[in-house]
Structure 1
Amino acid sequence: MKLAMDAMGGDHAPDEIVKGALQAVKMDEDLSILLVGDEKRIKPLTENHPRLEILHTDEKIESTDQPTKAVRKKKRASMVLAINEVKEGRAQAIISAGNTGALMTAGLFGVGRIKGIDRPALAPTLPTIHQGKGFLLLDAGSNMDAKPEQLLQYAIMGSIYVEKVLGLKQPKVALLNVGEEEGKGNDLSKQAYDLMGNAPIHFIGNVESRDLLEGVADVVVADGFSGNLVLKNIEGVGMSLMSLIKKEMTRSLYAKLLGLLVYPKLKGIRKLMDYSSYGGACLFGLAAPIIKAHGSSNSTAIVSAIDQAKIFVKQDIVQTIQKTVLEMNDKETK
C-alpha cells in the first residue's frame, strides 16, 4: 500500500509528520509513503528509509490562506500535489495536517465526490468517558447549511465507516437535536428524523449534546454549523477543565503534594479526552480516502492517522459507501 502525505501541513511540519511516517513504515513492511514537500527539510529526517519517497515542492498552503483561492493559485502546493498522486493512481490515500478548508477544496477539485453524495462531510472521532469507545461526528464544519437528504447521507456514510473500521455491528446512529423526543427541533431536524427512520441504518433517534460524552451513540449526525460548535466546545471544555485542575493543585504546598499522588490518573484522563489521539478526521463523500490530521499533531497522532488511512483503503470504504447510496437511490426511484 502506498500513501501520499502533505509533509508541510500542520503546526509541527515537516519534523513530526516525517517522524510519524518513519515510525509507520518501520512497523508495516507492506507500507510505503510518498512525502510531498521541501526535500531539503524532509530528507535529513527520513534516515534514508527505502519506503519513504519524496516529491519535492517549495510551495505550501498556509493555515491562514483562503481555501479556494489558495488551491487555485498554488497548483504546486504540497497538499495539492499529494491529492494529485491519488487522482493519478500512484497512491491510494492522502493524509494532511494542513488547512482543513483547503484540503476539502483540493479534494473536491482533485478527486471529486462519490456518486450519489451531494456534499462531503468532515468527520472526526470524538472521545467519550468510556475507554477507547469514542463516537463519530459528522458534519463537523465542512458545510454550514444542510438539507435533510444530506444529513441522511452523512448518517449512511458514518454507519458504514464505524461498522467496517471499528467492527461494530449495527452501530447506533443518532441525530443531534435540542431534545430526545420525536418532533423536536427545526424543520431540518424533523425531516431528517423521518428520513433516517426509514434508512438501512440502526437509527436510535435524537440525542442532546449533553449526553454525547456518555457514548449514547456511535455516530452522531449534524449540520456543519452545529457539529463544529460541538467539536470546539468539547475541545475547549477539556482544555479549560485541565487548566482549572492544574491551577487548584498549585495553590498551596498541601495541594501540590496531593497533586503528585493524583497526577498519573489525571494524565490518563487527559489522554482519554484528547480527540486528536483517535486519529484524523475523515473527509467522507470524496472519491478517495482523505484523512485530515489535527493541526497540532505530533508523530504519535500522525501514526494514528496513517493507521486510519490504511483501514480506509483495506476495507474499501469509498466503494462501499457509493454502492449503498446508489442502491438506496435506485429503490426510491422504483
Structure 2
Amino acid sequence: MYKIAVDAMGGDDAPTTVVSGVESARDQLPNVEFILFGQLDQVKPLIQDMTRISLIQSDDIIAMADEPVKSIRNRKNSSLVMAANAVKHGEADALFSAGNTGALLAAGIFLVGRIKGISRPALMTLLPAIGGEHDVFVMMDVGANADNRANHLYEYGILGSFYAHEILHYENPRVGLLNNGGEEDKGDQMHKDAHQLLKTGHTKHLVNFVGNVEAANILQSPADVVVSDGFTGNAALKAIEGTAKTIMKTLKNSLSNGGVRAKMGAGLLLPTLKSMAKQWNPEQYGGAVVLGVKAPVVKAHGSASPKAIAAAMVQIESMLDSNLINKVDTFVTDHKDDLAARMDNK
C-alpha cells in the first residue's frame, strides 16, 4: 500500500478542491492511502468517506506569495513542510501540493532530498504532441531554475528520458535541446556546450539525442523529451498555454457572433471542437513533477480542479509502481564518473 502526503491547504480553493480530488483518486486507486495535512476544522467536514484517508493537524499555511526558502526553513508547522517531512522520514512515499510552486520545489530539494549525483532537480511537465507517433512529450525545466549550466541540461535529458520510458512507455525517447535554431552552432555558449554534452551522451548510448529543436515546432513532435533552461522553458510553456487559450476563445467568439450559418457550422463541428479542447486541456496529464529528488514530488496548478488533482494522484501511483526514482538513482550511481566529469567541465 502506497502513502501519499497531501498538502491539503495548498491551492486557490483549498481545502475544498483538494479533498474532492483526493476522494475521487481514492475511489480509483485501491492501493493508495492519503495523509492529509491541514487545518482539521476546515478539512474534516469536507470528507464524505474516511476510507484510506488520515488527517494530521497543521497550524500554519504557506501562501502563494510567501518567500519559498524562508518559508520552508521557518514555518515548520505548515501543511506543506509537515507533508514533506513525512516523506523525508519514510512515513509517506510521495508528496503532493497545489500551493506555492517555489516552496514545493524547496521542500522537495531540502527536505525530501536531492538524488546524489543530480546537481539541479528540475520541474517537468507534459505537453500535447501534434501529428507524431505519441500524444504527448516531456518538457523540462519549466521553471525550477532560472540560471543553468550546460551539465544541468544534459541531466535533464537523462531524467526526462527515464520519465518518458518508464511512465509513458516510449521505447527509445528522442531528446531535443530547445534552441533558437536547428544548427549545431546556434545559441549562446551554454546551449552550445549543452549540445555537445548531449551529443557525446548519444554516442555513449546514454541519451537518444536528436539535436536542437525550435519553439516554433516543438508541438509537432520533433522530440519526445525537450530540455531547456528554466527561464526559457517557463517562458515557452506560458506562451504555448496562452496561445492555446486565445485561439480557443477567439474561435468560440467567432462562431457565437457569426450569425446563423456560423452557429449551424459550429453544431456540425462540435465533436471536433470538443476533441481539440480535450487535447489542449492540461488537467488530463496530471501535475508537474520535480525530477531529481528522492521521492515523487508533484505540483498541480493552484486553480486545478478535483479532476486534475485526481489525475495527479494517478500519475504519482504510476511513478511508484514503476520504481522510477530508484531506477534513476541506480543509473546515476552507475554513471557517476561520467556525470561528475561533465559537471567539472561545464
TM-score normalised by the chain length of structure 2 = 0.92
Which residue of structure 2 lines up, in the alignment, with residue 174 of structure 1? 176
CA distance in 2, matches of 1:166, 1:267: 24
Name the amino acid aligned to 2:208.
Answer: H
The reply on whether 1:192 has 2:199 as its aligned counterpart is: no
The reply on whether 1:245 has 2:246 as its aligned counterpart is: no
Deviation by residue 1:93-124 (Cα, 9 ceiling, x = unmatched) = 01111111010112222122110011110101
Change (3 A) 1:333 1:138: closer
> Structure 1: which 5+ residue stretches go unaligned?
none
CA distance in 2, matches of 1:65, 1:258: 48
After superposition, residues 216-235 of structure 1 pair within 5 angstroms as: 216-235=222-241
Aligned partner of residue 249 in structure 1, secondary structure: helix
Contact 2:117 2:340 in 1 (8 A): no
Which residue of structure 1 lines up, in the alignment, with residue 164 of structure 2? 162
CA distance in 2, matches of 1:37, 1:130: 44
CA distance in 2, matches of 1:152, 1:118: 11
TM-score normalised by the chain length of structure 1 = 0.95
Aligned partner of residue 6 in structure 2, secondary structure: strand
- Alignment: residue pair count: 334
CA distance in 2, matches of 1:44, 1:30: 24
Change (3 A) 1:248 1:331: closer
Which residue of structure 2 lines up, in the alignment, with residue 289 of structure 1? 296
> Structure 2: which 5+ residue stretches go unaligned?
342-346
Deviation by residue 1:241-275 (Cα, 9 ceiling, x = unmatched) = 11111221122432333323323321221120122
The reply on whether 1:103 has 2:104 as its aligned counterpart is: yes
Name the amino acid aligned to 1:260.
Answer: G
After superposition, residues 92-171 of structure 1 pair within 5 angstroms as: 92-130=93-131, 133-171=135-173
CA RMSD, 1 decimal: 1.7
CA distance in 1, matches of 2:339, 2:53: 47
Using the aligned pairs only, state the percent identity.
40
Contact 1:129 1:272 in 2 (8 A): no
Which residue of structure 2 lines up, in the alignment, with residue 267 of structure 1? 274
Which residue of structure 2 lines up, in the alignment, with residue 301 of structure 1? 308
The reply on whether 1:74 has 2:75 as its aligned counterpart is: yes
How many Å apart are 1:28 and its aligned residue? Answer: 2.3
Contact 1:280 1:294 in 2 (8 A): yes
Q: Which is further off, 66-75 or 194-203?
A: 66-75
After superposition, residues 32-47 of structure 1 pair within 5 angstroms as: 32-47=33-48
CA distance in 1, matches of 2:317, 2:156: 21
Change (3 A) 1:333 1:76: closer
Deviation by residue 1:183-242 (Cα, 9 ceiling, x = unmatched) = 211111111111111220111111111111112211000000110011101110011111
After superposition, residues 318-333 of structure 1 pair within 5 angstroms as: 318-331=325-338
